[in-house]
A and B are shown apart, each in its own frame.
Chain A
Amino acid sequence: MKIAGSDILVETLIEQGAEVVFGYPGGQVLNIYDSLYLKSDRIKHIITAHEQGAAHAADGYARATGKVGVVIATSGPGATNLVTGLANAMLDSVPMVAITGNVPCNLLGKDSFQEVDIVGITIPVTKHNFMVTKTEDLADTIRQAFRIAKSGRPGPVLVDIPKDVQVNTAEYEPVPVVEPFALKTASEEAIEKAAAMIAESKKPYIYCGGGVISAGAEKELALLSEKMDAPVGCSIMGLTALPVSNKRNLGMTGMHGHFVASKAKNDADLVITLGARFSNRATGNVAKFCQGAKMIHIDIDAAELDKNVTVDLGIQGDVKDAISRIIEKISPAFHPDWWKEIEEIKKFEAENTAAQIGTLTPYDVIETVNSYLPDDTPVATDVGQHQMWAAQKYRFETPRTFLTSGGLGTMGFGMGAAIGGCVATGKRTVLFTGDGSFGMNLNEMTTAVSQNLPLIVVILNNGVLGMVRQWQAAFYNEHYSQTTLERKTDFPALARAFGAKGFAVTNVDELHAAMKEAVETNGTVLIDCAIHMDERVLPMIPPGGAIENMILS
């Protein structure tokens, strides 16, 4: 039977497993929203305050579950408002499908009202994108979009659908959920070489990226580190792949990573990198990066091999498969001397890192909030100092519980991401944000409240744009250009105006009291935590620097 394109779209979304979609209606998606209305018993739509929030929510949904997140926006400004969300998902390899409406085909290219070439605009920030010009092609294009989004290295795919394609009819037959393209696997020769290099190593190190989580290889990672007796350091995207409680987990590496995680990587004689792309924030000066080590890099994306860092053995292949096969090939190793060295570095870090200064320190906030929440709590962040403090200090025990903007560094990501993570898991969710980041998309408090989401928004409020201020203090002669905000916003009152609960706290006791109430509240709670404006994120490797340049105090 022939049905309208908008019905084909919604049926295909349901067919491909989308239970919840995020979005915002408008002129060129009215037909899609009519179909969503009629099929609302089979697919839930969550309206956000702004399309950017919807894009980040779809992203957070995907990060928390591994499923494809879906966002819908109208043409023109609706579509352009998705661009930051798509770029964010692209840089962090998050599977998403974005649906945009557009003007009817006969009005394309005429600068019609709310017309924009969103396919052209989003070429660099999507894994692929499509414009559908015939209703007959619609169902298969949507299926192809899901397939591309979740295959290999995941990413966002945009499908632009002119209004007449939504109105016209075509045959629709449901099909099963599309399978991802077959994964490339490492060659036997490469696996044997890797195993031989591991056997020779006395000071091995595993560098874990987000690809380990995308591949679902968390258990294999733990087994590999155990069998090799190797420490594991993570990129920000790799956090949650190994529980913090695992004794071999050294935590985050890189610019604001733990000193021990970066120093051990630098001192190792073998670094095995799994599903990471050596971003400049992770490596610092690449010429001085792990100079003394043999390097193995395993990634599903061949273009990442030798892109930023040249390695001794680059292996394209599914990380999960590769680790499993390496584990079979190696004998259990023990490196007590190497661990002694690492313990010494840990001790040095503990003794030499400057203490935080305020009455309520950033670490107090992270640790206190952490102590009230179960291990499977989704933890979202915005971008800046609070994000680094959370990455350093929060005790992540469960994969996919850290929803953070790693590659693009999107201030304003947090509210949408937290909403997406909360909706996806149905679990109480926490957002660590700053007063700067929160200001960017705080409109999404409306979404959290109207959906009655059990969301705890924790603002680390220093009254300044702290990360930029920290750089201005260190590298720009304390010229605090446009980073001292002097805003008069009363955040708890603002929370109440949105229909949420709001607390302001200035010490740890008050934070305990607020958290006790927050975890008993069936709804959204905001806690405004006053911290000192001169708190810094330490350690810090200055931009372009190396481990010997790391600032600890």
Chain B
Amino acid sequence: MGKIQLNLSVVNRFGVLVRISELFARRGFNISSLEVHETSDPDVSEMTIVAYGDDYAHTQMLRQLGKLHDVISIK
């Protein structure tokens, strides 16, 4: 199975990491690595997630993450 890298801008608020990692767990997607750090904007954090999955999983990850209100943008 291939690896997928997702770069997210998220709201910098407690619980956001749980919300995002829970989505991966709930949908059955395995995370290979996850890194999160603050940015120069105190309201925004950046997240880099590498996860296992095929094209189907990739599309689902993008679309399901896109529904979370704490996710500002996905690259």
Residues of chain A having any CB pair with chain B under 8 Å: 119-120, 123-124, 128, 131, 148, 301-303, 305-307
Contact = CB atoms under 8 A, between A and B. Distances in A.
Contact of B63 (A119, A131, A148, A303): A303
B32 interface: no
B75 interface: no
B18 to A, nearest CB: 7
Interface stretch (B37-45, B46-54, B64-72): B64-72
Shortest Cβ-Cβ A-B pairs, 10 listed: A303-B63, A128-B69, A302-B63, A303-B64, A123-B22, A124-B26, A123-B19, A303-B67, A124-B22, A148-B69
Contacts of A131: 15
B18 A120 contact: yes
Contact of B15 (A120, A124, A302): A120
Contact of B60 (A123, A148, A307): A307
B66 A302 contact: yes
B59 interface: yes
A131 B19 CA distance: 13
Contact of A303 (B18, B26, B66): B66
Given A303-B64, A305-B63, A307-B60, 8 more contacts: A120-B15, A120-B18, A123-B22, A128-B69, A302-B63, A303-B60, A303-B63, A303-B67
Contacts of B59: 306
Contacts of A128: 68-69
B18 A123 contact: yes
A208 to B, nearest CB: 23
Contact of B67 (A120, A301, A306): A301
Interface in B1-59: 15, 18-19, 22, 26, 56, 59
Most buried by B among A120, A131, A303, A307: A303
Interface size class of B (residues with CB under 8 A): 10 to 19
Nearest to A155: B67
B70 to A, nearest CB: 8
Contacts of B26: 124
Nearest to A128: B69
Nearest to A157: B69
Contacts of A302: 63, 66
A182 to B, nearest CB: 15
A128 B67 CA distance: 10
Contacts of A119: 15
B17 to A, nearest CB: 11
A124 B26 CA distance: 8
A506 B15 CA distance: 56
A347 B68 CA distance: 48
Nearest to A148: B69
Contacts of A148: 69
Nearest to A304: B63
A148 B67 CA distance: 11
A307 B27 CA distance: 11
Contacts of B66: 302-303
24 contacts: A119-B15, A120-B15, A120-B18, A123-B18, A123-B19, A123-B22, A124-B22, A124-B26, A128-B68, A128-B69, A131-B15, A148-B69, A301-B67, A302-B63, A302-B66, A303-B60, A303-B63, A303-B64, A303-B66, A303-B67, A305-B63, A306-B56, A306-B59, A307-B60
A302 B22 CA distance: 20
A120 B25 CA distance: 14
A128 B68 CA distance: 7
A123 B24 CA distance: 12
Contacts of B22: 123-124
A306 B68 CA distance: 19
A77 B26 CA distance: 24
A302 B74 CA distance: 15
A147 to B, nearest CB: 10
Most buried by B among A123, A131, A305: A123
A153 to B, nearest CB: 8
Contacts of A123: 18-19, 22
A210 to B, nearest CB: 17
A301 B60 CA distance: 12
A124 B28 CA distance: 13
